[in-house]
Structure 1
Amino acid sequence: MKERIRALAPFALDVVLPIAAYWLLHTVFGLSPFWALGIGGLATMVNAIATTVRRGKLDGFGILVVVEVALSVVLLFVSGDPRVLLLKPAFFVGVAGVYALGTLFVGHPLVLDTGRPFATGGDPRMADAYDRSWEASRPFRTAIRSVTVVWGLGFLLDAVLRVLIVYRFPPEEITDSLLLSQVPLLAVLVVIIGYTRLRMRRVRPIVLAARDGRPPGYPGAPAGHAG
């Protein structure tokens, strides 16, 4: 889990940094929205390059970040429209949505891995039972896949709504669009986290049964446990 957090932290920073830079440069130092967002975008690219150098390798995510940021900065200066950089989070969230849905067809669903620490609490026996449940239990697989679908679609919905909101406002109202473009993600997260909690309630009893060696159909077992 810690390794996943460390791996994702630079990319989370790449989403947050332009917004933080905008507020600092525009609100505190009085730079125009154009220059505030432009400098924030350049800072993001520098951070992505520094992270890649520190890790000592250029992977797919590193290339994606550098290329996307460089492209958005070029478009900013060519078009003169600061709204271009506000689309950066939509890009990353959209990619995350496509990736989540893609894991339904290639490899294992994203939530199978991300949900393991929460369902097992770091207990090796629970982790083993969790993996065995994926192989043996149809309700387990259904819950994992459905939650993955909801996260993927939720991310894609946020990306689309973010683009619509950003371009709903003219460039001179960039502060308003910056604030309102964050609303869809908050609303989407509330819905999909609530759905995740409801669906994952079916997962832990199955894992506990597998850990304890209880056979399918034990009293209180979810229907179809044997898959």
Structure 2
Amino acid sequence: MKGRIRVLAPFALDLVLPIVAYWLLHTVAGLSPFWALGIGGLATMVNAIITTVRRGKLDGFGILVVVEVALSVVLLFVSDDPRVLLLKPAFYVGVAGVYALGSLFVGRPLVFEAGKPFATRGDPRTVEAYDRSWAVSEPFRAAIRAVTLVWGVGFLLDAVLRVIIVYSFPPAEITDSLLLSQVPLIAVLVAMIAYTRLRMRKVRPIMLAERDRLPAERH
């Protein structure tokens, strides 16, 4: 359960922090929508940077954080349209989608590593069985690839819908745009998590069977 919370927490914070920060800075403090969104977005960046530092390495996620920071700084100086700042989440969600789809063709799919803590719960014997399942079982590999495909497409869908929603409102209605632009990610996450649980439940017996085949001395 703790592992799931750690994985899902960044998504929850990315949903909640911009809205809360915008409300405090715009409604309470009286800042303009543009600056309320810009400064509020820094909270999300700080959270992402802290996560990267805790991981102790500049991996794909860390590179995405660096790009996001650079993009935010540029946006603050090149545009005064608050809707542009609302597109920032669409950018890194879109990149995550492309990365997930790209991992289907290079190396192991994204969900293989991301799903390992959920499937194995950190047990060394189960981790070995999980890795062996990928090596010997085509149904296991097919499930991992299918879930990765769904997450990649889901992220790209959220990015596209976010852009459509943001630019369907004029700048004067930025509050409504901010709230509604979060809806696709919520809906997509619910659908992706439900599909993942359903699909992975069917291949869990494969992993458990591989664990039972491991030599007894590895207990």
| Normalised TM-score (structure 2) | 0.82
1:174 paired with 2:174, answer: yes
Give 2:191's aligned residue.
191
Cα 1:17–1:71 shift into 2, 3 Å: farther
Which deviates more, 23-32 or 197-206?
23-32
Give 1:71's aligned residue.
74
Q: CA deviation at 1:140?
A: 0.1
The CA distance in 2 between the partners of 1:48 and 1:197, in whole Å, is: 27
Q: CA deviation at 1:42?
A: 5.5
Which deviates more, 8-17 or 172-181?
8-17
The CA distance in 1 between the partners of 2:52 and 2:11, in whole Å, is: 15
Give 1:161's aligned residue.
161
Query: Which structure 1 segments of 5+ residues have no match?
Result: 215-227
Q: CA deviation at 1:16?
A: 5.5
Q: CA deviation at 1:190?
A: 1.4
Contact persistence 1:126–1:211 (CA under 8 A): yes
The CA distance in 2 between the partners of 1:133 and 1:12, in whole Å, is: 32
Give 2:144's aligned residue.
144
Give 1:225's aligned residue.
none
Spell out, residue by residue over 1:165-208, the C-alpha distance to the aligned partner (whole angstroms, 9 max, x if none): 00000000000000100111111111111111111012210011
Contact persistence 2:19–2:179 (CA under 8 A): no
Contact persistence 1:22–1:37 (CA under 8 A): yes
The CA distance in 1 between the partners of 2:52 and 2:190, in whole Å, is: 36
Which deviates more, 64-73 or 35-44?
35-44
Which deviates more, 107-116 or 58-67?
58-67
Cα 1:129–1:42 shift into 2, 3 Å: closer
Which deviates more, 155-164 or 104-113?
104-113
Spell out, residue by residue over 1:204-226, the C-alpha distance to the aligned partner (whole angstroms, 9 max, x if none): 10011001119xxxxxxxxxxxx
AA of the residue aligned to 2:92: F
AA of the residue aligned to 1:103: S
Contact persistence 2:38–2:72 (CA under 8 A): no
AA of the residue aligned to 2:142: T
Cα 1:67–1:14 shift into 2, 3 Å: farther
Report percent identity of matched pairs. Answer: 70
Q: Which residue of 64, 71, 80 corresponds with 1:61?
A: 64
Which deviates more, 150-159 or 190-199?
190-199
Q: CA deviation at 1:21?
A: 2.1
Give 2:217's aligned residue.
none
| Normalised TM-score (structure 1) | 0.79
Aligned to 1:34, what secondary structure does the other structure show?
A: helix
AA of the residue aligned to 1:89: P
1:92 paired with 2:95, answer: no
Which deviates more, 144-153 or 15-24?
15-24
Q: CA RMSD in A?
A: 3.1
Q: CA deviation at 1:33?
A: 1.3
Contact persistence 2:81–2:171 (CA under 8 A): yes
Cα 1:195–1:50 shift into 2, 3 Å: closer
Structure 2 counterparts to residues 97-116 of structure 1, below 5 A: 97-116=97-116
Query: Which structure 2 segments of 5+ residues have no match?
Result: 215-219
Contact persistence 2:26–2:32 (CA under 8 A): yes
